[in-house]
């Protein structure tokens, strides 16, 4: 089981803490234990399917397939969209970016944008970007702690200020910036927009509800998102819970959101995960027991 040193990125609107990353140039490094100092790429190159599972290794090779972040937004992020696998491969030779958000904390009156509130086409989208009215066409959502949003590639989105979000996404750093509220960067220049690139990446479908609804159930797994790139489950624990992940044929990631949790695997290794930390459990490590220290809240992610 592996814990990693966070990679903190300070940005115009706040900061990101990359908890587990296989993105070239931003590889996560093991922070404790016998493998301390090694990157997730090192682990994958040595363990192959024993780390990620047979299906995942066949599909992704020596690229770790998911990127885990905490986003701390003091100001609104730009309005943006990510390409799907087909378009990203054609243009950039990389994976697309489907993602999800779990709202860890939201200030009063916090909001985000996800999806459209009206039907647009590429031409009307471009006109609204040009005349600074594109946010009028975005579905705006008030936020509360524990809210969940699934963002398939192609869905336009933006996080508002006063929010802390756990983000699970494909391993990709391809973002098309649509609108940036006419802000200036540290050099006094407006940041580049990718209006034309985004035009063909956007899914213009309008939905009546973009929020993911679920019912919390203490001490039982609650599935939040299940897509072809990841499955994410919420665990709210006040007593121990044990699993056998053998049939899953996948790594498992645990993101600790509240309090602490002790993990014990089938070899007797013990790791304590604190709030704000992330743990990677290899596919070969199938037996696992979780013991909350207090009442722990975690996200469990596998592929």
On whether the CB atoms of residues 167 and 257 are closer than 8 A, the answer is no
Place of tokens 């599935």: 223
Structure tokens at 156: 């336009």
- Can you give the three-state secondary structure of the chain, one letter per residue? CEEEECEEEEECCEEEEEEECEECCEECEECCCCCCCCEHHHHHHHHCHHHHCHHHHHHHCCCCCEEEEEEEECCCCCEEECCCHHHHHHHHCCCCCCEEEEEEEECCCCEEEEEECCCCCHHHHHHHHHCCCHHHHEEEEECCCCCEEEECCCCCEEECCCEEEEEEEECCCCCEEEECCCCECCCCCECCCCHHHHHCCCCCCCCCCCEECCCCCCCCCEEEEECCCCEEEEEEECCCEEEECHHHCCCEEEEEEEEEEEEEECCCCEEEECCCCEEEECCCCCEEEEEEEEEEEEEEEEC
Based on its alpha-carbon atoms, the radius of gyration of the chain, rounded to whole angstroms, reads 19
Q: Which residues contact 123 (CB under 8 A, 6 or more apart)?
A: none
Whether 177 sits among the annotated catalytic residues: the reply is yes
Rounded Cα distance, 76 and 180, in Å = 9
User: One of 38, 50, 55, 177 is an active-site residue; which one?
Assistant: 177
Which residues have a catalytic role annotated?
Answer: 177
């Amino acid at each position: 089981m592996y814990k990693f040193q966070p990679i903190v990125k300070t940005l115009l609107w706040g900061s990101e803490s990359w908890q587990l990353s296989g993105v070239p140039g931003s590889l996560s490094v093991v922070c404790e234990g016998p493998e301390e100092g090694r990157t997730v790429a090192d682990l994958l190159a040595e363990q192959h399917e024993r780390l990620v599972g047979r299906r995942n290794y066949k599909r992704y090779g020596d690229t770790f397939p998911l990127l885990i972040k905490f986003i701390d937004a003091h100001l609104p992020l730009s309005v943006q969209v990510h390409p799907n696998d087909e378009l990203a491969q054609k243009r950039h030779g990389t994976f697309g970016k489907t993602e999800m958000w779990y709202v860890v904390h939201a200030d009063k009156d916090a909001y985000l944008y996800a999806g459209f509130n009206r039907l647009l086409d590429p031409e009307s989208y471009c006109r609204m970007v040009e005349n600074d009215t594109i946010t009028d066409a975005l579905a705006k959502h008030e936020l509360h702690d524990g809210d969940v949003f699934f963002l398939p590639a192609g869905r336009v989105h933006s996080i508002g200020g006063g929010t802390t979000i756990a983000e699970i996404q494909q391993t990709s750093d391809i973002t098309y910036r649509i609108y940036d509220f006419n802000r200036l960067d540290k050099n006094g220049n407006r940041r580049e927009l990718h209006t034309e690139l985004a035009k063909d990446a956007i899914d213009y479908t309008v939905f009546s509800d973009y929020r993911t609804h679920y019912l919390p159930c203490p001490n039982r797994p609650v599935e939040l998102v299940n897509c072809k790139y990841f499955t994410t489950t919420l665990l709210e624990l006040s007593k121990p819970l044990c699993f056998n992940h053998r049939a899953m044929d996948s790594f498992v990631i645990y993101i600790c959101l509240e309090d602490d949790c002790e993990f014990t695997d089938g070899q007797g290794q013990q790791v304590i995960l604190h709030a704000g930390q992330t743990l990677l459990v290899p596919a070969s490590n199938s037996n696992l027991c979780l013991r909350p220290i207090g009442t722990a809240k975690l996200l469990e992610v596998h592929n």
